[in-house]
Structure 1
Amino acid sequence: MNAEIKFKKQSKREIILSTATQLFIQESYIAVGIDRIITESKVAKMTFYKNFPSKENLVFACLQELKLEMKIAVEEQISSKSVPLEKLEQLYMWYINWVNQNGARGCPFHKARMDVGSLYPSIQIVLDEYRNWLFDTTASIFKEMQIRDPMTLTHLFLSLLDGLINGSVCEEAPIEPEKTWNYINTLIELETSSM
């Protein structure tokens, strides 16, 4: 009996989601239209609308899927470390590499908020869930480090991360994670040495 590897065939919905997500990441949520997504997904218009009654539904589903994939990947990365500073570095490096893979086009969540946040109010739920998850994950690592004021340092860390990402978009250049991590690490050392 021949051993065959069976690959899970992607459903039409998964194909549409995957195609739309890549287009939104590479370009923008506004510039990419439904007709283009249908064409590049190679599905019938009726199939598209059966799965996603509107572009807002599609954007919501894309962000939901991205959030889930990101959460699983990050938690897998940081769970392999036992030292809190190493967990934070893994979180940071994973996030920067993920953004860099997008060709310095920024964070898809930030871009969605800027592009269509006011146009598609339903996506605010996913954007807030994503941001809360990122904040809580970072804060829990700072708490493990027994930082005196983990919330303030979490806000500062995420502001630095946002600034780096926005800077890479403006400069159209990838972020150098090792260099910037050294600055963040110095900031953490200053905080821990003042306790």
Structure 2
Amino acid sequence: MSEEVLGTTAQRAPAIPASPERPKLASGPGAKARILSTATRLFYYEGIRAVGIDRLISEASVTKATFYKHYGSKDTLILAYVAHVHDETQAILEELVNDSTSASDALRRLIARIQHETQAPDFRGCAFNNAAVEFADSRHPVREVVRDHRDWFSELLASLFRAAEHPMPGDAADEFMLLRDGAMTGAYVGDSIAAGSALSRFADRILGDR
């Protein structure tokens, strides 16, 4: 797929090194990445507000001074976390589109990816929706990042439906977003197989032989 379909050029987020064993205390560039990696894991699996600074510092194996040197506050780290998840998601989806043979193929592969993700044993729902739920004020910076992500995702979907010659690409993108949100929530709190099947039926109906 070309960049014309994507509408934007992907900027792959830097990989965060895995830390199977707790490393020694450090204050260099690796410490900053480790703090973000730890926050990404804890915020997603346990909730943003539920995880305190002391817990983050302990699990990232950094000093308190190192934490404040790199991020200054938990609020700054929260925004870095949400922005990082967006960058990571954008890189993954743009690679998926570029590796597809057509817009319809990209949409079907996207649905298959969502199905695979929602059926993973460690799936905890959509990271962006989860973050939005924790910040009720629609003007909060976290909500702004979530909106920006959803706007980007909606435009990507609309461009794919447009390239697939759907007569109403914007409406199709809106439907996809709503069903994707429902599948993410349904898979987490209910039957992930049923949620995935609903996504497949959506693809069959809205794409047809395009």
What's the TM-score, normalizing by structure 1?
Answer: 0.84
Runs of 4+ off more than 6 Å: none
Q: 1:122 aligns with which of 141, 166, 189?
A: 141
- Identify the range of structure 1 (41-50 vs 98-107) with the bigger mean alpha-carbon deviation: 98-107
Q: Distance in 1 between matches of 2:202 and 2:41?
A: 30
| 1:132 positional shift | 0.9
Aligned residue number for residue 73 of structure 2: 54
Aligned residue number for residue 187 of structure 1: 205
Aligned residue number for residue 5 of structure 1: none
- Identify the range of structure 1 (18-27 vs 183-192) with the bigger mean alpha-carbon deviation: 183-192
Answer whether contact 1:103 1:174 (CA < 8 A) is retained.
no
Fraction of identical pairs, as percent: 28
Aligned-partner residue type, residue 85 of structure 1: S
| 1:26 positional shift | 0.8
Are residues 1:141 and 2:160 paired?
yes
Aligned-partner residue type, residue 170 of structure 1: V
Aligned-partner residue type, residue 142 of structure 1: F
Q: Distance in 1 between matches of 2:100 and 2:87?
A: 21
What's the TM-score, normalizing by structure 2?
Answer: 0.78
Q: Distance in 1 between matches of 2:70 and 2:38?
A: 14
Helix, strand or coil at the partner of 1:82: coil
Aligned residue number for residue 151 of structure 2: 132
| Structure 1 segments unaligned to the other structure (5+ residues) | 1-7
Aligned-partner residue type, residue 126 of structure 1: V
Q: 1:105 aligns with which of 120, 124, 130?
A: 124
Answer whether contact 1:84 1:144 (CA < 8 A) is retained.
yes
Q: Distance in 2 between matches of 1:102 and 1:158?
A: 23
| 1:118 positional shift | 2.7
Aligned residue number for residue 3 of structure 1: none
Aligned residue number for residue 25 of structure 2: none
Q: Distance in 1 between matches of 2:117 and 2:139?
A: 25
Deviations 1:78-119 (A, max 9, x none): 111122111111222223434444723111111000013539
Answer whether contact 1:77 1:91 (CA < 8 A) is retained.
yes
Q: Distance in 1 between matches of 2:138 and 2:71?
A: 17
Answer whether contact 1:139 1:150 (CA < 8 A) is retained.
yes
Q: Distance in 1 between matches of 2:82 and 2:129?
A: 11
Helix, strand or coil at the partner of 1:18: helix
Aligned-partner residue type, residue 177 of structure 2: L
Q: Distance in 2 between matches of 1:181 and 1:134?
A: 17
Are residues 1:36 and 2:60 paired?
no
Equivalent pairs counted in the alignment come to 184
Answer whether contact 1:84 1:142 (CA < 8 A) is retained.
yes
Answer whether contact 1:142 1:150 (CA < 8 A) is retained.
yes
| Structure 2 segments unaligned to the other structure (5+ residues) | 1-16, 18-27
